[in-house]
Structure 1
Amino acid sequence: MLKIYVCEDNKEQRTHLKKVIENIVLMEDYDMELECVSENPHTILDKVKEADNVGIYFLDIDLNSDMTGLVLAQEIRKYDPRGFIIFVTTHSEMSYMTFMFKLEALDFILKDEQEELDKRVYDCILKANQRFASANNKVQANYSIKVGDKVYTVDYDEILFFETSPNVHKIILHCKTRQMEFLGKIKEIEKELDDRFYRCHRAFLVNKDNIKEVDLQNNVIYMVNGDECLMSYRQARGLKGFFKKTI
């Protein structure tokens, strides 16, 4: 999932930009979420530090703060090197600064014409979505599921385990920050994934890269975020490297 951030000190422009982005995401049915809209660059940066998703950032340059949009973008790059940064400003003369700061901005949009601004925002979101999907597909590091009418693409790194749902013919996908239920069968999913995923139980398929340790005594797998996954005794041999140390 791509998270979207907006930092704009003008309330009217901030409200308009928020509405435009929400409409685009809804209309295109993208796997995106408007994470934070604020006039305060420090608020945006705090959110970015907490996140582990790639972001799309719409930043004004002059924020009437101790931090400019350019400096904010520099800080964002430290935590999200793959993020998509778009500057939205009235200061056309500042465009060259984005190159001096080596920010690799996706676009530099002027606020002068609202219709053109809305079109450019749409183009940026479309381009970011395409590039994000393309980058993930190159390394085959994602899994796509359909929930209702919407398709979600989830990085393998985000997946903890798949679990058979109490609801007939459904699977629960456990990720580091969310859960989703979809139609499927564990046996079929197992065939689609690479060898980092292991069938640890008839009802569970675990991502070995996200295992913290295995409690052999209680047949429980502890994941990196504290979640627990069941394991059958017979399948334990495939997870020997994760066995909990006992005194």
Structure 2
Amino acid sequence: MSYPIVLCEDETIQLHQLNDLMENYILFHNEFHVALQASNPDAVVDFLEKEAPQNGIYFLDIDLKAQINGIQLAQIIRQTDVQAEIIFVTTHDELAPLTLKRKVAALDFIEKDQPLDDYRQEIYDTLDYAKELIDKTRNVQHKGFSFEVGSQVYNLDRSEVIFLEASDIPHRLNLISTNGRFEFYGKLTELEEKYDFLFRISRSCLINPENIQHVDFSIRKIRFLDGSTRKFSIGKSKKLKQVIQQEL
């Protein structure tokens, strides 16, 4: 899993310096990659809309000399990338209380005006901590998928879920898992919102990308580890490729 890093800094020299520090860090920590370096918040908003990143790490200046500032940009980021780790790199650490009021939940404030060695070390320490938090969150999310059949409650590890699809019976779903097939009452939309590891490939089917064995994009067919196959909508092709890359 590679975590995307997004940089937004309006001063060109400072943006390049920040990017150079990231690239040097990534040489020894290949679980990260710089997905975007931007001098304008609009570029970050466009990136969010097009790429829909998850578990991103965002280094933002507060005063971006644009229509929105770094705190407002952080609010937009939080709406799209719910588990984002947001770090402000700024000379305006007096604005830290405002981030609490705006419910941005910033991971850190890093002061620009400090010796380069201290600045570098603080950034690297923050990256280490951000990765630790994201890994812990993913481990918690990894643990379970729950559903009810009559009076019985089943708890599966997410790795056991292959896909879910609408049943022929209204308001019921079929779950195909490594432990067998189950049918229960539920809505795909609610499960999609509750379990972020599920990916919708069509109006009637959610899949667990972990259990994909092969994808034939020419005929839009997915084969899963249990040998079953399902078709996906043409509009899902680009996002499916991205999801598969994230699982590598």
Q: Which TM-score band (shorter chain)? A: 0.5 to 0.7
Counting only pairs closer than 5 Å after superposition, residues 159-238 of structure 1 correspond to structure 2 as 193-196=159-162, 211-212=201-202, 227-230=220-223
CA-to-aligned-CA distance 1:151-188 (integer Å, 9 cap, x gap): xxxxxxxxxxxxxxxxxxxxxxxxxxxxxxxxxxxxxx
8 Å Cα contact 1:90/1:110 also seen in 2: yes
- What's 1:145 paired with? none
What is the Cα-based RMSD across aligned positions, in Å? 3.6
* Alpha-carbon distance between aligned partners in 1 of 2:160 and 2:102, rounded to the nearest angstrom: 40
* Alpha-carbon distance between aligned partners in 2 of 1:104 and 1:42, rounded to the nearest angstrom: 21
Q: 2:120 aligns with which of 103, 109, 118?
A: 118
TM-score by length of 1: 0.61
AA aligned to 2:92 is H
Deviation at 1:73, TM superposition (A): 0.6
Extract unaligned runs of 5+ from structure 1: 143-191, 201-206, 215-220
* Alpha-carbon distance between aligned partners in 1 of 2:125 and 2:137, rounded to the nearest angstrom: 18
Q: 2:137 aligns with which of 118, 135, 138?
A: 135
Deviation at 1:110, TM superposition (A): 0.7
8 Å Cα contact 1:7/1:37 also seen in 2: yes
8 Å Cα contact 1:59/1:86 also seen in 2: yes
2:66 partner SS: coil
* Alpha-carbon distance between aligned partners in 2 of 1:94 and 1:243, rounded to the nearest angstrom: 50
* Alpha-carbon distance between aligned partners in 2 of 1:65 and 1:123, rounded to the nearest angstrom: 29
Stretches of 4+ aligned residues off by more than 6 angstroms: 197-200, 221-224
CA-to-aligned-CA distance 1:81-129 (integer Å, 9 cap, x gap): 1100000011122222111211100001110112222111101111111
Matched positions, count: 176
Extract unaligned runs of 5+ from structure 2: 145-157, 164-175, 179-196, 206-213, 233-248
1:222 to 1:124, Cα distance in 2 relative to 1, 3 A: same
Identity among equivalent pairs (%): 29
1:135 to 1:12, Cα distance in 2 relative to 1, 3 A: same
- What's 1:35 paired with? 35
* Alpha-carbon distance between aligned partners in 1 of 2:200 and 2:64, rounded to the nearest angstrom: 40
Deviation at 1:211, TM superposition (A): 5.0
Counting only pairs closer than 5 Å after superposition, residues 67-86 of structure 1 correspond to structure 2 as 67-86=68-87
8 Å Cα contact 2:221/2:231 also seen in 1: no
Deviation at 1:222, TM superposition (A): 8.3
* Alpha-carbon distance between aligned partners in 2 of 1:199 and 1:77, rounded to the nearest angstrom: 32
Deviation at 1:131, TM superposition (A): 1.1
* Alpha-carbon distance between aligned partners in 2 of 1:211 and 1:103, rounded to the nearest angstrom: 32
* Alpha-carbon distance between aligned partners in 2 of 1:131 and 1:199, rounded to the nearest angstrom: 29
1:9 to 1:209, Cα distance in 2 relative to 1, 3 A: closer
1:41 to 1:140, Cα distance in 2 relative to 1, 3 A: same
